[in-house]
Each structure stands twice: as C-alpha cells, then as structure tokens.
C-alpha cells in the first residue's frame, strides 16, 4: 500500500466491479451446481459439497483473474519476448487455480471460462475507472494508516481463527502476507 498505492487503488476498484458482476450474473443465470444436478456419490467432491443454483459464473475464477490481470498489467516487462512469457505464465497460473474448482466438483468448465473472462473485464474496468475518477486517492494519505492497521489486525485475528478451525495452507500464506503488510504500514506510520 505504501509502495504502490495505484496498484491497490486499481485492485480495489476492480474488486468492487467483479463483486457486482458476480452477484448480478449468479442471480440472473441461477445455474445449478454439479452436485445439485448429478448424484454426487458418483463423482468426487473434495471438501464441502456445494449445492444450490449459483454455479455460473465461478466467483473464484472472477477473483483470480481480476487480481492476476491487474498484477499482470502492472508489472508488464518492456521487451516483447518477456511480455509473452509473463502473460502466458500469469494466464497459465490463473487457469490452473481456476480450473481446480472443476476438479473439486464445485463448477462446470464453462463456469470457470466465463468467470475468467468476467474477471479480466472487471480488472480492465477497475483500472479504467480508477484512472478516470481517482476515487481512492485518500488511500496513500498517511493519516488513514491507523484505519488500515486496525483492519489488518482484525483480519489477522480472523485468519488465526480460520487456521485453528480449518488448518488450510492458504490461510497460512494469507496470514504471512497480511503480517508483512501490517509490519510495513505500521513502520511507515510510526516513522517520522
């Protein structure tokens, strides 16, 4: 946040756009999840068996591609051969993560493909909106750091509870990332 506020501003705007797209499209299409349609005893569901009518599009794919697209465009190399490698690597990682939702029995492949497209569009929209309207300019202002410090501490506590209850590696990685961010922003705030 303190080093690259524009990335955070674009990511925040893109995240709000993606949430809006996700909620509206899930409510409009109401596609049943695979476990609702198929006998989930005949195929493998890893983790919680998700049922209901909110399969299309994949919210995870939207989130992954929103975040990855903002990062991909932010850190784009200058040389064309590096751009190609960079973009292919980001897209491959995004598809591997997103298609894991099909592998665990939570989505159909089409859910993930359209979720990825919506995530990409959300990221571009977020970047465009942020550049045009600059609605998050206050994020870089040091006087708001205590609010972020408090939010980070609350999220650290939530992650610790999740680790105690579910013990998934993703929560450990999130906790490490959050603690590093908390350390950096606190040091920046305390420093005169």
Q: Which two tokens stand for residue 126?
A: 């977020």
Q: What is the pLDDT of residues 44-61, one digit of tens each?
A: 666 666 667 777 899 899
Tens of pLDDT along 88-140? 999 999 999 999 888 777 788 999 999 999 999 999 999 999 889 888 878 77
Q: What is the pLDDT of residue 68?
A: 95
| Residue ranges covered by each domain of the chain | 5-137, 141-192
Decide if pLDDT at 2 tops 60: no
The pLDDT value recorded for residue 157 is 96
Residue 3 has pLDDT above 60, yes or no: no
């Amino acid at each position: 946040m303190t080093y690259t506020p524009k990335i955070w501003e674009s990511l925040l705007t893109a995240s709000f756009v993606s949430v809006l797209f996700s909620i509206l499209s899930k409510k409009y299409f109401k596609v049943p999840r695979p476990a609702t349609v198929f006998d989930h005893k005949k195929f493998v569901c890893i983790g919680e068996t998700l049922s209901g009518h909110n399969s299309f599009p994949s919210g995870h794919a939207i989130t992954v591609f929103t975040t990855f697209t903002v990062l991909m465009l932010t850190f784009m190399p200058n040389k064309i051969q590096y751009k190609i490698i960079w973009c292919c690597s980001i897209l491959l990682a995004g598809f591997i993560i997103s298609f894991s939702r099909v592998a665990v029995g939570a989505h159909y492949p089409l859910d993930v493909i359209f979720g990825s497209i919506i995530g990409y569009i959300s990221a571009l929209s977020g970047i465009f909106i942020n550049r045009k309207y600059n609605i998050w300019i206050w994020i870089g202002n040091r006087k708001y750091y205590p609010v972020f410090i408090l939010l980070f501490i609350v999220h650290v506590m939530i992650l610790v509870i999740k680790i105690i209850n579910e013990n998934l590696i993703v929560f450990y990685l999130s906790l490490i990332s959050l603690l590093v961010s908390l350390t950096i922003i606190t040091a920046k705030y305390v420093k005169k």
